[in-house]
Each structure stands twice: as C-alpha cells, then as structure tokens.
Structure 1
C-alpha cells in the first residue's frame, strides 16, 4: 500500500518544527481564553463562547475517552509517522475529536501528534479542503521525513458530514442553534466510536493494518 501514497507539496520541516504538541495547544488555548481571547482574527463574543465550550469538551474527553482493545493493538502496529492537525480553538468539532486523536497517538511512541492553526497556514489548509471548504479539524498523516502523505481525515465523522449537508439543503424548520445542539448530543452518545472506525479504515487503506 505504501507505494500509493503521495508527496505533500506545502508541508515542510519548518511546519513541523513550529507545530504544537497537544499539551502545548491546550496551554495556548487555555491561556488565550483566560485573557478573553481565542485563536484567529475573529475575537467576537460568539467565538469566545465557542472556545469556552470547546475547552469544556476537551477537558471531558481527556478524562473519559476510551480506545477499544482492538484499536489499541492496531495503533501499536502503525509505522512511525506524524499526525499534523489543522485546527482553531473555537472549533466545536475539534473540541470533540482531537482529544481522542491524542489518546491514540499516546499508544505508539512512533506517532507524533502536532497541531497547527488553520488561519496561520492557509496554503496547507487549501491543499486539504473538504468539498472546497476550509473545514477543520483536518488530520494529515505524514512520513517522518515529510516526503509522503499516508492519509487524511476530517473535519468530522461521515455521518455528521451527511447530516450537515442535508440540513443545509432543507433545515426542516430547525434553527442553526438547534442543529448544532443535535450534533454535539450525537458526539456525546457516539463516544468517538465513529471516529475510531473511520481512522481504522484509514489504517487499513494506507498500511494494511
């Protein structure tokens, strides 16, 4: 399978050197929020509230997220790689999924989880669009030398991507707030099982693991 992977065009050694570990990302987000700020140019009250909720969700998943025994064994078999994640502090989907990505990466010392901010890296983001949109989070799996891209995932489980598409085509009387509440209720009930399954599919396709 490894002969089918492609070479990233916009990610360099400087990208990885300037990227954050999960702990550094959490520290940055918490520090900014304590000052009444968030990442990116939009510093509105709405985005600060999104950030507050994302922090709350990350705190929760850091404590309660569980990896299945089957997935744990698969992750431990993965070859060395870098998981580069495009994100922003205010992103609701990032708050729900990145803690689980971190749980997986912690299982294999060969996996380096690194995070970069979307709005500070437009070229990388534009090379990994979802249906033409700069949707985040976006996980990009790269070889240690950054010469190959193994797979990418994001910005959310496929069920939610389809659910969002359907809502945009026909809200059926729901407000955006009501739809968002449904999405986060789904995340709470799903408990990262869909994310685990989809990343497992990525492992199968990229590495036969």
Structure 2
C-alpha cells in the first residue's frame, strides 16, 4: 500500500496547481482524466465556476480551527479527484480552507484515472467514488480516510437509492441545492469527528 501511495504522491498537485490544471484543460475544451466528452467538459466548466465561488465564500468555524490546531505532527491529506465530479467541486474548496488553517497539513491532489492502483485501494462499497481523502502521517502511513461525501449527503444518497433504486438527474440537482445551503458545515463536522478519533490503518 505504501509504495502505491508514494508513487501517487510523486504525481500529485497542490490545490492551486490542480485549479490551474483544470483551467488550462478547459481552455482546450477538455476535462481531467482519460475519458473525454462534451458532457464531462461541460460538468468541469460548471464545477470550475462553482469552485471559484466557494474559494471566495467558504468560512471555517472556530471549532474547526481549534480542532485542526491540535495536529502537531506533519500530515499529508491526499485527495483523489476529477474535474467533472460534482461532489469534488463542492467539497475540495472546504477541505482546502480547513488545511490552510494549519501549517502541519500538506494538501495534495491526484487525478483518479491517472492513479488506478491508488483508487483500487480506497474503494467505497466496491466503487471508485470520489473525492476520496487519505490522511497520511509523516511516514506516509494511512491515519484515516474520508469521502466521497459528507455524512448527511451520504445518507441522502442511501435513502434515495433505497426508495428509487438509483440516483437520477433530479436527485443530483437536489443534492447540489443541499450543498449550496449547507455551505461546507457538514464537511467541517465530519473532520472534527475524524480528528478527535484518529485511527491508524495498517499499510
């Protein structure tokens, strides 16, 4: 596991580098990842606008800042993502703002399709769901993971699938409305709980 993680870290981007990558690809009418289509490019364009807005508006609570300040040893937060992913667009700006409150956290991004070995190690219910955050200690051991959605959104998806079999376009729209209203609060609540109860995952 550690070798795969370290291989991916060598191909990682800072948050700003990732944002620049997405912008540059969009200027060529492309998205991140190996698959390319007009639909994925359009999703990426929408998400880029969404992230620009969130980068400016997301507020981190004092409780979150206090909890993050308890991190004394260096950590790397490695996130598997793609530009076309709506959940990533809503959550990455929040996670970046959280990481910025601590000099101990080094936030890194990797593209899912370019890091298949890593993605296969961190599946969610057997699926390559993103964004997926992997928290690493200074020796690149896995401390904890998070994703692909905050807990309330995860429950919303589970409930909708239980009632309807699968998510549809209307639900995806409703989920984006929830994200907009929540303003990153549920993500912060999740991270406060994770930081209070860290668990080492054997590599």
Same-fold call, TM > 0.5? yes
> Deviation at 1:176?
1.6
Give how far 1:42 is off.
2.3
TM-fit CA distance, 1:73: 1.5
Are 2:178 and 1:186 aligned? yes
Gapped regions of structure 2 (runs ≥ 5) = none
1:85 counterpart = 2:79: yes
CA offset at residue 170 of structure 1?
Answer: 2.8
Task: Indicate yes or no: 2:160 matched with 1:162.
Answer: no
* 2:198 is the alignment partner of 1:206: yes
- Asked whether the 8 Å contact 2:137–2:143 carries over to 1, the reply is yes
Bigger mean CA deviation after superposition, 33-42 or 132-141? 33-42
Residues 175 and 96 (structure 1), Cα distance of their counterparts in 2 relative to 1, 3 Å cut: closer
| Structure 2 residue 146 is the aligned partner of structure 1 residue 153 | yes
CA–CA separation in structure 2 for the residues paired with 1:195 and 1:8: 26
Q: Please state whether the residue corresponding to 2:143 is helix, strand or coil.
A: strand
Partner Cα distance (1:205, 1:127) in 2? 22
TM-score after normalising by structure 2 = 0.92
Instruction: Find the partner of 1:176 among 165, 168, 172.
Output: 168
Corresponding residue to 2:136 among 122, 138, 142:
142
Under a length normalisation based on structure 1, what TM-score does the superposition of the two structures give? 0.89
**Which residue in 1 is equivalent to 2:120?**
126
- Runs of at least 5 residues in structure 1 that lack an aligned partner in the other structure: 1-6
**Aligned residue-pair number:** 198
Shift of 1:8: 4.2
- When the two chains are superposed, the root-mean-square deviation of aligned CA atoms in Å is 1.8
Measured in 2, the distance between the counterparts of 1:17 and 1:120 equals 12
Give the corresponding residue for 1:55: 48
- Give every structure 1 segment of 4 or more consecutive aligned residues whose post-TM-superposition deviation is greater than 3 Å: none
Task: Write out per-residue CA displacement over residues 139-179 of structure 1, whole angstroms, 9 at most, x where no aligned residue.
Answer: 00001221x2111000001222222223233339x982211
What CA distance in whole angstroms lies between the structure 1 residues aligned with 2:14 and 2:27? 20
